[in-house]
Structure 1
């Protein structure tokens, strides 16, 4: 069973043209325009967060639900839902067998663990080493990557903020991340970083840290919904109070995604609510995918991460769609993007 700390951690982790075309040869422009923009749709396990937290669904159920209910064969797991069984050989063997039987592709494990950006060198090293088992678990399942964080989720949730300045945390993050990338490289895995909470909601800070790291397996997982740098204080310190908070300081997501794209090794298409036309109310999908397309990124995975069901089932707000309906609505939007921007 997840602890309250794990639950809150998961919940909190739930936020220039220069006119050069006239100078380019027509043949080059024709070649560029002929390239097809394409991506494969994957499914993030956090889309079922409300069911997983309440025990209505188990981590082991994820592959079958993705395939049979949504026709999706690429999976993005969340570490907390393994309930520390990622080192249990029998458990992992059964999970892998289920995936193999269904013809699933295990792509990513989103790891929310100890802080690899801690200013305390001993704690930072311990955190890096604590991620090793997740690298090994991802390798066993056939994943391409694990996703990690630069910062302490609990500090961000409690309102304490980061433990040091942006420069200090950035230096520590680069050091811890470099060590983890070096370890994962031996297993042939990428270690990617998401804009998530605290300083990592700032795309300029993210890029400045990434530039300090020398590794071919480094990269970003740009998330459409995690550029909120500051939220209002909850009226009550229970689940409904926390989920009712509003973002009071947010970086521009379109600018943020554009800055992260040169290092992107995946995309997290986060959604919460949809309008009568089926469009996401928070993100203009065509606009943001035009930015992604213009970056030259193609052929990767775009993960559906629907969080509205969490707001509905555990927050009590029935204006959000249930998990299954929200996943389907997001998939429909991504299929529209594939068709219009191909």
Structure 2
């Protein structure tokens, strides 16, 4: 009889432990399933959003920090050609570059803005076979690396225009980027490449370049909109696009190397969504990556006054980020 009671007691205890273990496992699983990493991104304003009023002379590029602050941004993404282009006119245009940088730094600090990066244009092509051409382009870019260090920017953004043969383009791009990154590394500056037309908009080729450079301060700046591979007449800009890379695939391929993200927008529908880019899909891709830095807002619509478009882009980014966290 005692043996029977002991057997019943042992069996009951075992079943009780088993049920408790199952309950604990289910509770743990429930916790895992309902816990998701919530990601937020500080927002910076890409100065190119203001290029129309700056070229028209109705916006002073020296007022960039104040304008961005008023629009609710935390960071600034400068564009070199908006200070050093023959078609731009503003009161300080004739001043030395260092004087302009001094003023930009004072004003960014006054308004509590973070200087994030400088987009470099018009300083020569980095991906041609002719090393005389690319070496000069590398030298031309160095002053902007110095400028980025002075302002406290983490990066400069460069373009990779050059040969139309993919193998040559990759080889030349690696050569020039290594030279720039070696110069920039001791200064704490990254050299990052935006998909910005031509071969650079082929994400698979740009990944080859990143792998070939293989330096910590070399990265990408995925742009939601710039995936045009070819334009009519072989034009770099302005002409209609006749061949385009898949923007979602491209962004996903570039995100592992991303130091920044450029949220490009052109126009909006009645519900506030961009008409050509699925922002909710884009931020699912961004959310799935390890990226945790500034997202730059870049509105490039047809309007002469871009302020409404900048605000609409910012609002859409905030909604898309919120949905990606659900």
TM-score (norm 2): 0.83
1:304 aligns with 2:313: no
Q: What is the CA deviation profile of residues 194-234 of structure 1, one whole-angstrom value per residue up to 9, with x for unaligned ones?
A: 00111111111111111101210111000011101122359
Please name the residue that 1:196 is paired with.
196
Q: 2:32 aligns with which of 30, 33, 40?
A: 30
Cα distance in 1 for residues equivalent to 2:263 and 2:199: 21
Whether contact under 8 Å (1:87, 1:133) holds in the other structure is: no
Q: 2:232 & 2:142 partners in 1: Cα distance?
A: 36
Q: 1:65-144 alignment to 2 at 5 Å?
A: 65-68=67-70, 70-83=71-84, 88-112=97-121, 113-144=123-154
Any gaps of 5 or more consecutive residues in structure 2?
A: 1-27, 86-92
Q: C-alpha separation between the residues in 2 aligned to 1:220 and 1:250?
A: 19
Supply the distance in 1 between the matched residues of 2:74 and 2:130 (Cα, whole angstroms). Answer: 41
Q: CA deviation at 1:246?
A: 2.8
Structure 2 Cα separation of the partners of residues 124 and 134 of structure 1: 16
Looking at structure 2, the residues matched to 102 and 190 of structure 1 have their Cα atoms a distance apart, in angstroms, of: 25
Q: CA deviation at 1:31?
A: 9.2
Where 2:303 maps in the other structure, the secondary structure is helix
1:91-120 deviations in whole A, cap 9, x for unaligned?
221111111111110001000121122211
Asked if the contact 2:283/2:321 (under 8 Å) is kept, the reply is no
Q: Deviation at 1:294?
A: 1.4
CA deviations over 1:126-151 (Å, ceiling 9, x no partner): 11111110001111111011000111
1:151/1:32 CA distance change after superposition, 3 Å: farther
Rounded Cα–Cα distance in structure 1 between residues aligned with 2:57 and 2:39: 39
Determine helix, strand or coil for the equivalent of 1:304: strand
- SS of 1:109's equivalent in the other structure is strand
Whole-Å separation in 1 of the counterparts to 2:222 and 2:53: 25
Instruction: Describe the superposition over 1:36-81 as per-residue Cα deviations: whole angstroms up to 9, x where unpaired.
Output: 222111100000111111111122011111112x111200010101
Larger radius of gyration: 2
Residues 5-24 of structure 1 aligned to structure 2 (within 5 Å): none
Give the 5 Å matches for 1:284-299.
284-297=278-291, 299=292
Q: Residue 199 of structure 1 aligns to a residue in which SS?
A: helix
With CA pairs under 8 Å and 6+ residues apart, which has the higher RCO, 1 or 2? Answer: 1
4+ runs of 1 displaced by more than 6 Å? none
Please tell me whether residue 147 in structure 1 is matched to residue 157 in structure 2.
Answer: yes
Distance 1:31 1:83 in 2: 53
Q: Secondary structure at the match of 2:144?
A: helix
3-state SS in 1 of match to 2:44: strand
Please report the RMSD computed on the Cα atoms of aligned residues, expressed in angstroms: 2.2
User: How many aligned residue pairs are there?
Assistant: 288
Give 1:14's aligned residue. none
Structure 2 distance, partners of 1:102, 1:31, is 42
Secondary structure of the residue that 2:309 maps to in structure 1?
helix
Q: TM-score, normalised by structure 1?
A: 0.79
Secondary structure of the residue aligned to 2:215 is coil
The alpha-carbon distance between structure 1 residues 32 and 312, as it changes in their structure 2 partners (threshold 3 A), is: same
Deviation at 1:90, TM superposition (A): 2.2
For residue 156 of structure 1, what is the aligned residue in structure 2?
none
SS at match of 2:153: coil
The answer to whether structure 1 residue 256 and structure 2 residue 266 are counterparts is: no
Query: 1:306–1:330: 8 Å Cα contact kept in structure 2?
Result: yes
Maintained 8 Å contact 1:232/1:247:
yes
Contact 1:119 1:164 in 2 (8 A): no
- The equivalent of 2:312 in structure 1 is 329
Deviation for aligned residue 1:168: 0.7
**Residue 54 (str. 1) matches residue 56 (str. 2):** yes
